[in-house]
Structure 1
């Protein structure tokens, strides 16, 4: 996690006070307050060796190791701090991150359970509780990329990877002539360029000149489409902008965005963007393919978490508009950083708040017809147990870069070349709901999208034109179910696709179409083998019965449940009785008075198809429920 904190200068990561609880901790606390975490760890460890360790000291050690992504040590000290009585919710969340980074997924989930119980409204807790099996879902997607460590990596921190006009631009702490930064005892960051060779290698390492690089941190780069303007991050110390803490005597800077114009001798005419502020950071710029929008990360007031993703307009003269937060769908109470807007307007970013494999994971979304697609985890091997960030990819070639501090790297952070093997995409499903007889759009019809296993993905009403839209991941088969008062429910199966848009029409019959003087006619209501619980498909059909009974408030129904011939007579009788009971309970749960529906199980005694032997289709037809009108029907 080193590179994350290298770009957080104005924020104190810890949730507890950085100042001394006692004279014994003063030295260590001062080092911690100055972000000298390596030295602070040594000082706190000496206190532990002297027997002066307590919940506070353990939590300081946990936080300091967390900030330099020393996951094993951080895990150890979080455990000790919690055992000693520390119990802040954010500590539990970070402890779960460290456990996950160390591959201890079950233990991580236990801490997330505790975190969710303490902060049930936190969006990280909400997402976790809604997707407890998220890890297997990410891993089951399989490998969509090839990932390879680049030869240009050093023993220090190297990250980024922006290609422009045959040059590769990276950020690195390899410059030994720079002063070391106390956070991780590595030199301050600079921007370097390489020439992209025909054989795919990168040659001719060049440190950009002093107009771009200073003695302070410089960060990731992005370019306008014509390559004539470069945007990058820089520490605000350069502008003599900082805050000074009177107690710790520590100066805190923020990050600002700058732009530089390309001339005959490289980039110069550096100027700060007007959206910068002395009160918060703005960093990680990325420019859209048409040059009209700049995206960045910021901890400005009004966000949802520590850092959020924002966007702002850019006009032809490079004038920046008012920043707009990308909203709670993208941003969480954690950290969202390193945005990248690709040439097909897919937004990639890194996050600790969305559900991932450990540390920061890369996620993506795309705006389709004014709506953001659901946030997706890019999956393995782009994401790992470590921090994965600074994702860049050419959508046409599928080639790009990702940075990571995963195991097996050459330095603190390394740059990896990537090649896409399988598509990452979303499909816009546009459903139109019509009256089957008149063709009139049915505004307000309730639609539900379910997956192939019958799990509900989302639900919403059709608009004034009878239209509803959903966004799903490519190659995902779904079913659109539609209900409306006065109409028979209907559904349509939507095949898996990689098309950008799929249009479907669902026609609903007026309710009279399924009512005769004697019966309410529904499609077969299926139960799982040896089960009597109501399935999603059975509920869909029973909702039609509820609609009919709501339309005719005096109607009284008797339901009969039947089985096929498999199983003994006694077994089938008991099974049909259980199914009859759950059928009536479902209808009653929807607001129908219990006095209006009764049910009985008939076992295998009244087959629809009297067969021996029976085909599977025969068995399906015999395994049914029927609904007889006792009184109060449309003609009674």
Structure 2
């Protein structure tokens, strides 16, 4: 894909792959020259002639990987891993499988990778949280996504909305017949288009002719005053390259340049002093105050294939020494396309962090770096199993742009923030009014599904971000207290507080029974519901306070279904109840249970109502020993 050129870690002559034999010599040379399209043709020709082997398959797989043809890359990696390979091959194979939505197969390859490179941060992250995917998929949606009128059948990416209400972006839409051998597309140029925030419409796309050359240009970043632009360009435009005489090829890199506006035109171009012909610097993003420039690079000191770096801008074309932004952001993979917002939130794309596939967009609040803040995956729908990257956000207009190849080409999408409410729950003792530390607080959606569970701080507080104009509820519990459910009313945005007073448990314990509210079950099911769990916690507390007490659980069903089936169902319910109590630390010898089916209804009825059925689906707790 064209975008990869911008952050490409070029392979120079010293690192080029030697031909395996005379048959692969032509294909190997094309591969070393980064002419992947033609290299693939030559390798496939060898396969068709019956001259394919593990080496040829590996070259094909890597070539397709570099072009991000995920289907073909996975196909050839599958042939390669029939024989032992280096760790990175298993990692690449895993990433290609993930990009095709084959998550279980991807995890198998990641386990092999982790076994070979246990100290790699990517391996550690995977082994510590191999089931990370559901957490990302379940994450509350932060943005709504829609396509833009900017897109064509060519590549478009790297859109940023500047203060002049123009969206600047990079594209291969130019009419030049000259193409890049990387993927056989035209070279990149910089374009801009006016944006009307009132009705979210775009004007006519214009080319930034004063900066474009026959080489690659873009993406760009513009200072808050609109007078300075930082942009990426192929170093060969400045005749800055490594000349490989053996391959008869000039290898350029990507460098960052500065331009200033003069009489409405961009000029006075200057190459930044930390540029080099042996490593790339790309994807610039300037802070609101103009004093810090973030960028992507594979310069010495890079932790992975490419990292996010920053450098101080001191004025008068004076710059500090580039600094790697560190492990909270960078990995052994690729970190690219940084964008710093006006409120100091850094967005970037990564292939080395746990994501949905390919490059994913992550964010980190740099104001909280000292508070162990970590980069977070922004989740769907911004991220997909494909490459999602080059996220930018205009805080003044409250709108973001990002790029993705989810439709086949690199296209630009709009990201509209989902309206949110900061809901703070304060859990207190209902009798004393004192805050309760360590209370368990679960937030539920309108269908009573648990979204997330947290514990209160010393001040009894816990905060959730919820969507505007939606109903939620809070379930709060603490050992020794009755659990409670508290509604969060629909809110148009902003902040809201939810008081959650919990009453100390005062369970009725008779000579023969512990009296709880009914532990009701859903129809034809035996799993413990959230409401049932909160009530059973009271029984757990009673048992902990009376260490000699032994309980027998009787579980019942309603009268729907056959007697034999209901007996079996009620027995499962009794066992579920017993298992829940044991899971809370109660010795198994102190609680047992049995199902009684529909033989002992709480309410005798023939044509029972739904409420009567629910009351008959219950459990009772008899005291066997005190």
Fold shared, TM-score > 0.5 on shorter chain: yes
8 Å contact kept, 1:295–1:341: yes
8 Å contact kept, 1:365–1:372: yes
Q: Partners of 2:276 and 2:419 in 1: how far apart?
A: 36
Q: Cα offset for 1:202?
A: 2.2
1:5 matched residue in structure 2: 5
* Residues 463-502 of structure 1 deviation map (CA, whole Å, 9 limit, x = unaligned): 2222233445667765544443433444445467663444
2:150 matched residue in structure 1: 150
Residues 167-566 of structure 1: matches in 2 within 5 Å?
A: 167-172=166-171, 181-185=180-184, 189-193=188-192, 200-202=202-204, 204-209=206-211, 217-235=216-234, 255-264=254-263, 266-271=265-270, 281-288=280-287, 294-299=293-298, 306-309=305-308, 323=323, 325=325, 334-341=333-340, 348-352=347-351, 359-360=358-359, 375-379=377-381, 387-392=387-392, 402-405=402-405, 413=410, 416=412, 418=413, 423-449=417-443, 457-471=451-465, 479-494=473-488, 499-511=493-505, 513-518=506-511, 519-566=513-560
8 Å contact kept, 2:215–2:234: yes
Q: Cα offset for 1:54?
A: 0.5
Q: Partners of 1:277 and 1:462 in 2: how far apart?
A: 51
Q: Compared with structure 1, are the counterparts of its residues 3 and 530 closer, same or farther at alpha carbon in structure 2 (3 Å cutoff)?
A: same
The yes-or-no answer on 1:162 pairing with 2:160 is: yes
1:129 matched residue in structure 2: 131
Q: Partners of 1:118 and 1:443 in 2: how far apart?
A: 43
Aligned length: 607
Q: Partners of 1:303 and 1:467 in 2: how far apart?
A: 41
Query: Equivalent residue of 1:262, what SS?
Result: strand
Q: Partners of 1:280 and 1:71 in 2: how far apart?
A: 26
2:33 matched residue in structure 1: 34
8 Å contact kept, 1:299–1:308: yes
Query: Equivalent residue of 1:525, what SS?
Result: coil
Q: Partners of 1:292 and 1:485 in 2: how far apart?
A: 52
8 Å contact kept, 1:124–1:353: no
Q: Cα offset for 1:3?
A: 1.5
Q: Compared with structure 1, are the counterparts of its residues 546 and 374 closer, same or farther at alpha carbon in structure 2 (3 Å cutoff)?
A: farther
Q: Partners of 2:58 and 2:538 in 1: how far apart?
A: 58
The yes-or-no answer on 1:57 pairing with 2:59 is: no
Query: Equivalent residue of 2:259, what SS?
Result: strand
Q: Compared with structure 1, are the counterparts of its residues 362 and 425 closer, same or farther at alpha carbon in structure 2 (3 Å cutoff)?
A: farther
Query: Equivalent residue of 2:463, what SS?
Result: strand
Q: Partners of 1:250 and 1:448 in 2: how far apart?
A: 61
Q: Partners of 1:582 and 1:407 in 2: how far apart?
A: 47
* RMSD of Structure 2 on Structure 1 (CA): 4.8
* Residues 539-573 of structure 1 deviation map (CA, whole Å, 9 limit, x = unaligned): 33323322332233233333332333444555544
8 Å contact kept, 2:471–2:490: yes
Query: Equivalent residue of 1:202, what SS?
Result: coil
Q: Partners of 1:313 and 1:463 in 2: how far apart?
A: 38
Please identify, of 460-469 and 447-456, the stretch whose mean Cα deviation from structure 2 is larger.
447-456
* Residues 416-462 of structure 1 deviation map (CA, whole Å, 9 limit, x = unaligned): 4x566x75355544332222221212223344455567766544432
Unpaired runs of 5+ residues, structure 2, are 115-122
Q: Compared with structure 1, are the counterparts of its residues 473 and 159 closer, same or farther at alpha carbon in structure 2 (3 Å cutoff)?
A: same
8 Å contact kept, 1:194–1:206: no
Q: Cα offset for 1:625?
A: 1.9
Residues 82-93 of structure 1: matches in 2 within 5 Å?
A: 82=81, 85=83, 90-91=88-89
1:592 matched residue in structure 2: 586
Q: Partners of 1:295 and 1:536 in 2: how far apart?
A: 47
8 Å contact kept, 1:364–1:377: no
Q: Partners of 1:631 and 1:320 in 2: how far apart?
A: 76
8 Å contact kept, 1:363–1:378: no
Q: Compared with structure 1, are the counterparts of its residues 23 and 127 closer, same or farther at alpha carbon in structure 2 (3 Å cutoff)?
A: farther
The yes-or-no answer on 1:114 pairing with 2:102 is: no
Normalising by structure 1, what TM-score? 0.76
Q: Partners of 1:268 and 1:123 in 2: how far apart?
A: 46
8 Å contact kept, 1:365–1:376: no
